[in-house]
Structure 1
């Protein structure tokens, strides 16, 4: 038994026994004091009832208010609440004692108590409303501790819900105490309900010289290819407004967790700018040409696409024109298979718009997804070594892809035999970069480059004729 109850419990038991001992205790006390037996008995029973009332009030306060309720609701109940509840129990017990034991009319006392309660309630009306709201917040599922909410103009994570205040912890780790009275009238937005998904949008102003289809494909592919972003569903790209400087496009996307909205926004902007840079799309920010923000100083035509493909970087302008004339455009919808694993299609495919991907085994023998965006290409072994494609490549967005076939390459090598050296050198660099064969300072090893380059020269001479190469020496 708790020490706080021990004295009252012993006193209550003792008075209870004494009240039952009319002949052996009540009578002698009445004889000594000169009071009637009935009066002495009433006072002993009254003392017993009062002790029992105080014991009940204390148990109700400690075990129910500060015990069960605090454990069940996981909140700290203010001492004032417990004291008020104890006072109510004592008042009710006192009324019963006066009425049942002392046979007194308690109507006036009840009226006085009710009036006092009304005055007390009016004085504590704000506290009562806060108390009621606190109880309601603990019973309802509006929000709970740990939820990210917006209450009026305040946004933060619920840190604590007390009987008087709700404490929000902001992203900058500031504690905001909002009275529960205000919450009862405020608009509450729970960002965690029904789930943590959130819809976001970004806008870009793009020059009129970029077709809507091209802008849509590149923005869609760039958004979908943003690293680390977990989408609930594929993004949407809309042309929203015609401005003086260009077309305003909006990207709408839904991510799985609102807590990731800033990193997701950063990753998407980074991916969009990179895709626009390699595709030479211009972002406009003013009416005058001088005010426009250029992502890259290139055009969108096929000639400049060829210029940007790494395989052709070392070629001359004349060769770029010839390659442009040999490229065959192919269009694919999302999910379309461009090539199958093991398919013999002696060609490389250059991404002009959109995005494609394939599953590959990396250097750590892990299965990873490799994505191709504008100016990137795949199918090197298929075209230069005449081997089957090593993996199935699928379009992840509406894609415009140019194909360079074996016949076209044969024609180009016949016109420009020096391309064997150029292609072999570039292919060697790409191969070594993928295998991560680098020296301590990060540069590719010259000996390795020369060795792999000779292998590619041998492949090209074997597959496309040695005479084209030797005639240029």
Structure 2
């Protein structure tokens, strides 16, 4: 039947209107763009057939309509499958599974067209294809194994793109799961391609799923001389200061056993992003060294029998820490009133401390009774002003801080933070207690030096009489400091 002009005036605008509507829908929902081409081809084939009077079957020209129609049906089915999968699984449909469904639909559709519209017998073809399929199946056994393993992986969905997984004893982030293989990006930035049948034969450890926080443990060996409560307290400080350490759920610390040369502690911490655990673990190990060193907690070496060969002593002219400390203390005005014997007594009770860059050594407003001398490194002096912290100065090797807290018990007047890794010498109140008790006149000389240093620091802060009443002169400032020293040490 040939299309009449009056029918063409109705059908052609209607087809164009449907095509425009589909194109507009494709703008709103980009996924539907795949339907525009097949629909246009299908409409064009239908119009051509109607104008020329070509019957729908069994003429070969009917393929102008049937093939675009088949493509339209397959793509519409694919969109429906993707939408249902997304609603039920909460993730995009695997491309491999979508492709397999499309191939099956195309095969069924082409077979139906060949048999129904062109009266082709499919039985001989199926018999021949069975023989060919057996031969091809044997030749492509591994390839087909990868294909079906890939289908199983997509249907079960144990992993998704972006997950961190362990497959065949290798860790990596899933970048793609195709019909043949799973592609991973390793920690080193390399691409690892694992055939699907290898993946199916091994267990898969998914670090990313479920999305709840994951945990890891850090094993710490500590000397038997360190009390457990003290070790646990120091480890808590480490976890509190570790940058980016999650607190929900909070980390846990347990003493889990005794080893040949150490007590064994387990630090369990939690994290959300799996690729963040290495940074957190490095931060914990780094801070443990500094905190244990400051608190005299030993990380013991393994105990074993060794043979020692005595070598001739090497000529070493390097300055030892006690010699360097004695030289440094003699250059500090605060210790000039002390005799050589008194200075050696102070040195004997001095403790070396180590701080990592970024750690706070003392906090403004906190109590303290210790004094610090910088052996190596650099620190920043900051003070709260107008609701914000302002850096006043930086101190380097040979300089000191904390003298007012040591000698008067005054609260810390500033915050000191390590700019680089810092080695310090710390002197506390007991180191001075016996010296001042035996020679109280030293307090007079020390108060003079402290008043001069207080005045210089106050001028640097723009407040000449900081912490003292307005109108206090140098003599009054010295006497006030002297009274505080005597009161603090009970002189």
Q: TM-score range by the shorter chain?
A: 0.5 to 0.7
Contact kept in structure 1, 2:185 and 2:191, CA below 8 Å: yes
Contact kept in structure 1, 2:443 and 2:486, CA below 8 Å: no
Q: Which residue of 2 aligns with 1:271?
A: 287
Does the alignment pair 1:461 with 2:474? no
Q: Which residue of 2 aligns with 1:333?
A: none
Tell me how far 1:191 sits from its aligned partner. 1.3
- From 71, 76, 79, the equivalent of 1:58 is 71
Q: Which residue of 2 aligns with 1:186?
A: 202
Q: Deviations over 1:133-189 (max 9, x none)?
A: 545545655222222111221211112232332211112111112223333333122
2-structure distance, mates of 1:388, 1:10: 87
2-structure distance, mates of 1:60, 1:280: 76
2-structure distance, mates of 1:422, 1:221: 35
Tell me how far 1:276 sits from its aligned partner. 2.1
CA distance change for structure 1 residues 252 and 117 in 2, over 3 Å: closer, same or farther?
Answer: farther
2-structure distance, mates of 1:317, 1:182: 71
Q: Deviations over 1:253-293 (max 9, x none)?
A: 213243232222222222221122222333322436999xx
Q: Which residue of 2 aligns with 1:247?
A: 262
After superposition, residues 334-353 of structure 1 pair within 5 angstroms as 348=368
Does the alignment pair 1:97 with 2:117? yes
Q: Deviations over 1:26-56 (max 9, x none)?
A: xxxxxxxxxxxxxxx8x95454665544233
Contact kept in structure 2, 1:167 and 1:175, CA below 8 Å: yes
Contact kept in structure 1, 2:41 and 2:68, CA below 8 Å: no
2-structure distance, mates of 1:234, 1:128: 48
Does the alignment pair 1:236 with 2:260? no
Contact kept in structure 1, 2:256 and 2:266, CA below 8 Å: no
2-structure distance, mates of 1:136, 1:435: 77
2-structure distance, mates of 1:416, 1:463: 17
> CA RMSD of the aligned region, Å?
5.9
After superposition, residues 68-147 of structure 1 pair within 5 angstroms as 73=93, 75=95, 85-97=105-117, 108=123, 112=127, 115=130, 119=134, 122=137, 130-135=146-151, 137-138=153-154, 140=156, 142-147=158-163
Q: Which residue of 2 aligns with 1:258?
A: 274
Q: Which residue of 2 aligns with 1:365?
A: 387
Tell me how far 1:225 sits from its aligned partner. 3.3
Tell me how far 1:433 sits from its aligned partner. 9.6
Tell me how far 1:87 sits from its aligned partner. 3.2
Q: Which residue of 2 aligns with 1:155?
A: 171
CA distance change for structure 1 residues 201 and 386 in 2, over 3 Å: closer, same or farther?
Answer: closer
Contact kept in structure 1, 2:251 and 2:267, CA below 8 Å: no
1-structure distance, mates of 2:174, 2:455: 53
Secondary structure at the counterpart of residue 88 of structure 1 = helix
Tell me how far 1:90 sits from its aligned partner. 0.7
Q: Which residue of 2 aligns with 1:384?
A: 408
Long gaps (5+) in structure 2: 1-18, 20-35, 87-91, 308-319, 322-333, 351-364, 371-381, 391-400, 415-427, 462-471
Does the alignment pair 1:171 with 2:192? no
2-structure distance, mates of 1:434, 1:217: 37
- Shifted more, 223-232 versus 112-121: the winner is 112-121
Long gaps (5+) in structure 1: 21-40, 292-296, 299-310, 324-340, 351-359, 369-376, 391-402, 438-450
TM-score, length basis structure 2: 0.53
How many residue pairs match? The answer is 362
2-structure distance, mates of 1:9, 1:120: 42
Contact kept in structure 1, 2:406 and 2:429, CA below 8 Å: no
Contact kept in structure 2, 1:121 and 1:128, CA below 8 Å: no
- From 203, 209, 219, the equivalent of 2:219 is 203
TM-score, length basis structure 1: 0.55
